[in-house]
Structure 1
Amino acid sequence: MKHARPLPSYLAQRYHGWKATTFEENHAWYRRLANEGQRPRAMIVSCCDSRVHVTSIFGADQGEFFIHRNVANLVPPYEPDGDRHGTSAAVEYAVTALNVAHLIVLGHSGCGGVAGCHAMCAGNAPELEERSSFVGRWMDILRPGYERIKGKSEDEIRALELEGVLVSLENLMTFPFVAKAVEDGSLTLHGLWTDIGEGSLLAYDPASGSYKPV
């Protein structure tokens, strides 16, 4: 592959620093993870946004979370014959092979994907309507959420960020193996949203139909 290039020096330096400190100090733990395989207790579906640092938020160690990231932390509906299998495959593996006990959808403030979806659905982003737009076609998953919040909030983008988490939770329940695991009590679903600037974390409470501080 002629277009590949050496790693930038600052990343190489960071790697060597990690290898000489964190890795060496915990070499036995890393070897155990490598030899025994992973046994994560939870799967987290989060956004690709570089500001969302899942392991830092929860103080997690290696091997604790099975993390899948995509634009706007979306889960598509169950579509075996569809063309959006990356997230679906991750969900299937986490639930049926790793047997995670918790499946968490984590949304966040200032989500560019959600803002783009809002603009597209409001008719202000024709470029995202193009069939050739990967982002636009991915954000079609969130259109039902837009229809639910349209005209009902002074801050529709924030409302859509929160609604997007619920759309993903609803879509998760269309997967037969997820629904079965939830119904037999071996899996619980959780909807969270974090404010990047404030460091706050909200959890969806189905009893009240609203988000509450964790």
Structure 2
Amino acid sequence: MPPSETESSNNALGNLLDGYRRFRDTGWTPHRERWARLREGQQPEVMIIACSDSRVDPTQIFDVDPGEIFVVRNVAALVPPFETTPGHHGVSAALEFAVQVLQVKEIVVMGHGMCGGCKAALTQELHGTEPGEGGFIADWIALLDEAREPVAAKFGTKGRPAERQMEQAAVKVSLDNLMTFPCIRRKVRDGDLRLRGAFFAIADGVLHLMDDKTGTFDPVT
């Protein structure tokens, strides 16, 4: 007999609490000195912009301890262009904090394989939907509309080759949009900040870094 919705919910919370107890035993208690230092503040040198996808956790992929990276995750790892219009600019606020307050030295935009947001941008399957029914997602991934056109023209809108091209094009869109922020543009110009593109392939677990000159994504060996 399949578990009820309530039982499934309780099991999900129970799994999280089991994980918390393991963390207390192995991640917090043996490293109290490190946590005491982190209590005083954080000094990460790298900011990572990644997708919300549950399969691509930057802390796991890069095997880092708490306090080492400042992470922002959203659908398709997108950075919107610099805007001063009224609104709730969550990604922009995080960028401002990382660059101006924490003074990170590098920003890494990490896309990934099998990205649902990029696939939806490519197929435009959510185009015209209402907020709450897919419209919020559609508005967000519309940031990729311009980049979609050459991908769709050359590779079509279905299949892994087209999807991978869209996933990697999204990284480049975010990198371009980062440079529309005056504080980022200034720090990059002065050599105080570096922008990098990356791509994590879920199928084989290989990380790729983007070559700044060619725009190609090469596997890390």
Partner Cα separation in structure 1 for residue 111 and residue 25 of structure 2: 34
Partner Cα separation in structure 2 for residue 169 and residue 44 of structure 1: 12
Q: Which residue matches 2:42?
A: 38
Q: Which residue matches 2:145?
A: 143
> Are positions 1:97 and 2:101 aligned together?
yes
Partner Cα separation in structure 2 for residue 70 and residue 83 of structure 1: 17
1:192 corresponds to which of 192, 198, 212: 198
Partner Cα separation in structure 1 for residue 37 and residue 183 of structure 2: 30
Taking only aligned residues, the RMSD between alpha carbons, in angstroms, comes to 1.7
1:20 corresponds to which of 9, 19, 25: 25
Number of residue pairs matched by the alignment:
204
Query: Shift of residue 129 of structure 1?
Result: 2.1
Gaps of 5+ in 2: 1-8
Map of 1:1-214 to 2, 5 A cutoff? Answer: 8-35=13-40, 37-81=41-85, 83=87, 85-120=89-124, 125=125, 127-132=126-131, 133-153=135-155, 155-214=161-220
Partner Cα separation in structure 1 for residue 13 and residue 62 of structure 2: 29
Query: Shift of residue 13 of structure 1?
Result: 2.2
SS of the residue 1:151 aligns to? helix
Provide, for residues 143-181 of structure 1, a one-character-per-residue CA deviation record: whole Å limited to 9, x for no partner. 111023222136221100000000000000000001001
Provide, for residues 22-50 of structure 1, a one-character-per-residue CA deviation record: whole Å limited to 9, x for no partner. 21100111011012x00001000000000
Partner Cα separation in structure 2 for residue 158 and residue 198 of structure 1: 14
Gaps of 5+ in 1: none
Partner Cα separation in structure 1 for residue 137 and residue 88 of structure 2: 12
Query: 1:9 corresponds to which letter in structure 2?
Result: G
Is residue 76–residue 84 contact of structure 1 (8 Å, CA) maintained in 2? no
Give the 3 Å change call, closer, same or farther, for CA 208–58 of structure 1 in structure 2. same
Partner Cα separation in structure 1 for residue 185 and residue 17 of structure 2: 44
What TM-score results when the alignment is normalised by the length of structure 2? 0.87
Is residue 122–residue 152 contact of structure 2 (8 Å, CA) maintained in 1? no
User: Percent same amino acid among aligned pairs?
Assistant: 38
Provide, for residues 68-107 of structure 1, a one-character-per-residue CA deviation record: whole Å limited to 9, x for no partner. 0000000000111054511111111111110000000000
Structure 1 segments, 4+ long, off by >3 Å, are none
Partner Cα separation in structure 2 for residue 188 and residue 119 of structure 1: 33
Partner Cα separation in structure 1 for residue 57 and residue 79 of structure 2: 19
Partner Cα separation in structure 1 for residue 201 and residue 181 of structure 2: 29
